């Protein structure tokens, strides 16, 4: 299998299936493309061979492409039963899917005002965002409650005990909260530390830190460097 992704420092959607597969020991070949949304760019021309959506990530398995993150999760669950993509218990699996789907469709304010940028320290920006954006504070309140309830029910250290697709879906959120230094309770901070230390996530972070590829359109708070 191949996983087509974008820049590791910025591409939050690419991060999700990559860290899941790496964490669960699912072998794949990485195909990394430099993010460039010009219709004639190498990024767009390469993706056109795999995905009508023209976005990353794309999982390619024997010439068959899956291009939505949640669809990739389900494909991996079906292809590798028992590997731990989702919890084994039917109710916990449904809850994990619900939490993951909420991330897939929501938290627009947090994602808009705090774009993922793993190598940056934007705590000063985070203070301003926190003061000026009530929608970000509302997103954070929901995330904190969701995580706390899941961790209490499972006993941790991950949302459903062992690392699964739900944790992978929120790994970029963990990166955002570290980069922008948003206020959070101790339970949230501890969970973020566990996610960042998971081998699959740690490997992605290490790659992002040595990428050194500044993309101005992904740097709303640092136009000059």
pLDDT digits (tens, 9 = 90+) for 24-64: 999 999 999 999 999 999 999 999 999 989 999 999 999 99
**Looking at the 3D structure of the chain, how many domains does it have?**
2
- Residue 224's pLDDT band, with cuts at 50, 70 and 90, is low
How far is Cα 82 from Cα 202, in angstroms, rounded to an integer? Answer: 24
Query: What is the per-residue DSSP string for 27-53?
Result: --EEEE------TTSHHHHHHTTT-TT
**CB within 8 Å of 123: residues ≥ 6 apart:** 180, 181
**Residue 222: what pLDDT?**
85
pLDDT digits (tens, 9 = 90+) for 120-152: 999 999 999 999 999 999 999 999 999 999 999
Closest C-alpha to 5, from 30, 28, 37: 30
Residues 43 and 119 in one domain: no
Residues 79 and 128 in one domain: no
pLDDT digits (tens, 9 = 90+) for 147-196: 999 999 999 999 999 999 999 999 999 999 999 999 999 999 999 999 99
Instruction: Look up the CATH number of the domain holding residue 28.
Output: 3.40.30.10
196 lies in some domain = yes
197 lies in some domain = yes
Tokens read off for 6 = 């974008």
Q: Rg of the Cα trace of the chain?
A: 17
- Look at 224 and 54; give whichever has higher pLDDT: 54
Q: Is 190 helix (H, G, I), strand (E, B) or coil?
A: helix
Residues 187 and 110 in one domain: yes
Q: Which domain holds residue 38?
A: 2-84
Residues 79 and 120 in one domain: no
């Amino acid at each position: 299998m191949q996983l087509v992704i974008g820049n590791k420092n910025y591409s939050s959607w690419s991060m999700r299936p990559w860290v899941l597969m790496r964490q669960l020991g699912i072998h794949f070949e990485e195909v990394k493309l430099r993010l460039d949304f010009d219709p004639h760019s190498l990024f767009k021309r390469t993706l056109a061979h795999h995905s009508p959506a023209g976005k990353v990530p794309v999982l390619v398995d024997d010439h068959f492409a899956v291009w939505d993150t949640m669809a990739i999760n389900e494909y991996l669950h079906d292809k590798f039963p028992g590997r731990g993509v989702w919890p084994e218990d039917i109710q916990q699996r449904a809850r994990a899917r619900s939490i993951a789907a909420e991330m897939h469709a929501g938290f627009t304010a947090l994602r808009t005002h705090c774009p993922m940028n793993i190598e940056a320290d934007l705590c000063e920006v985070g203070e301003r965002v926190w003061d000026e954006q009530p929608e970000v504070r509302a997103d954070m309140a929901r995330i904190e409650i969701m995580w706390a309830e899941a961790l209490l029910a499972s006993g941790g250290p991950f949302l459903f005990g062992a690392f699964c697709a739900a944790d992978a879906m929120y790994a970029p959120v963990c990166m955002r909260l570290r980069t922008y230094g948003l206020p959070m309770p101790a339970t949230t901070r501890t969970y973020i530390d566990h996610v960042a230390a998971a081998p699959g996530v740690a490997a992605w972070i290490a790659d992002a830190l040595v990428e050194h590829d500044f993309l101005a359109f992904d740097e709303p708070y640092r136009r000059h460097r």
